[in-house]
Amino acid sequence: MMRRHDGAKADGPVHRVTLVVNPVAGRGRALRLGRQLETELLSCGIAVVRRVTTRPGEATVLAQEALAEGVDAVVACGGDGTVHEVVQALAGTSGRLAVAPGGRADDLARALQIPTNPARLARVIRTGYTRRIDVGSAGPRRFASIATLGFDSAVSARAERGVRLLRGRAAYLAAVLLTLRNFRPPEVEIQGACRTFCGRILLAATANTPMYGGGLQIAPGARPDDGLFRVCLIHAVDRLTVLRLLPHVVTGRHTRHPAVQIWDTPFLEVRSRLPCVLYADGEPLGTTPIRLEVLPLALRLIVPPPDSPR
């Protein structure tokens, strides 16, 4: 059951927000977007308190403070990592999240068709149309999009360090090629509600939404409000097969390959002979052994109304 925060507002038009800006997200793009969005929000009659983060994890603290102040919404201006930090504070409360996509990949915003144009985004926030979505959990940690294990975790770690002159999907694909040379498939035991796998894997992506890496469709058909993870499990394959599969991940056709399994499950338990680090929303999530669970409809997210122009 979701707990209610006394200072948070229910659904309806937005009049007051805290804008949490990560100044380094998108190599400064989020900082520019935050300034433009603040101007547009003010022109819509919304009172704005802008907070700029100075260290990792600070967005969680700022979002907690905003909840206590009773704002109508917290606007996370940055990439998926900034959203990840804000979700730690808002999941399981009636506080609302609005996403201002200014990062490297912005996969949650892509999945939910959040506009990137500041004027359009300000109008979406002002309307306050709110959708409840599921949240993944790993102990006390929460995540909004996809938890990764194996090759894609190694790629996330490489992409987090950045690829010169690239961002979005191009940066992710470059990180794939840089990671592939030295990657060794881990030996794991993975258990879902109805299935178990034991052996070596290329990756296991535990998805609340369909895409990562700037729009790669790793888990086509994943829905953020059905109470289930869609798990894309790819058995260990050789490097040439990885390169052949990669173009198909762009469109989701990789799921036809015999090395790929798709599971739907409300939880996933992972154990491994050697500790493996999982990433979620592009951020470190935890280390095996680990249990991932769906928290149904635990996050209120401001999204474009169904009849709004795309």
User: pLDDT tens-digit profile of 111-135?
Assistant: 999 999 999 999 999 999 999 999 9
Burial of residue 273, with CB atoms counted within 10 A of its CB: 0-12 exposed, 13-18 middle, 19 or more buried = exposed
Place of tokens 């201006």: 77
Round to the nearest angstrom and report the end-to-end CA distance of the chain: 34
More confident position, 106 or 9? 106
Over residues 16-68, the pLDDT tens digits come to: 999 999 999 988 999 999 999 999 999 999 999 999 999 999 999 999 999 99
In this prediction, residue 1 carries a pLDDT of 33
Helices (H), the chain: 29-43, 58-69, 80-90, 107-111, 118-127, 151-160, 168-180, 239-249
pLDDT at 167 over 70: no
| 301 contacts 129 by C-beta, under 8 angstroms | no
pLDDT category at 4 given cuts 50, 70, 90 is very low
pLDDT at 144 over 70: yes
| 301 contacts 124 by C-beta, under 8 angstroms | no
The span from the CA of 116 to the CA of 101, in Å, is 6
In this prediction, residue 27 carries a pLDDT of 84
| 75 contacts 33 by C-beta, under 8 angstroms | no
The span from the CA of 30 to the CA of 78, in Å, is 5
Q: Which two three-digit tokens encode residue 246?
A: 């990669």
Report phi then psi at 134, rounded to 5: -70, 160
The span from the CA of 286 to the CA of 279, in Å, is 7
The span from the CA of 116 to the CA of 271, in Å, is 39
pLDDT at 148 over 90: yes
What residue ranges define each of the domains in the chain, with the CATH number in brackets?
16-134+298-302 (3.40.50.10330), 143-296 (2.60.200.40)
CA geometry: angle at 273 spanning 267 and 278, to 5°? 45
CA geometry: angle at 235 spanning 187 and 188, to 5°? 20
The span from the CA of 88 to the CA of 62, in Å, is 11
The span from the CA of 257 to the CA of 234, in Å, is 9
Neighbouring CB atoms inside 10 A of 57's CB total 9
pLDDT category at 2 given cuts 50, 70, 90 is very low
More confident position, 157 or 310? 157
pLDDT at 163 over 70: no
Burial of residue 16, with CB atoms counted within 10 A of its CB: 0-12 exposed, 13-18 middle, 19 or more buried = middle
Q: What is the mean pLDDT of the chain?
A: 91
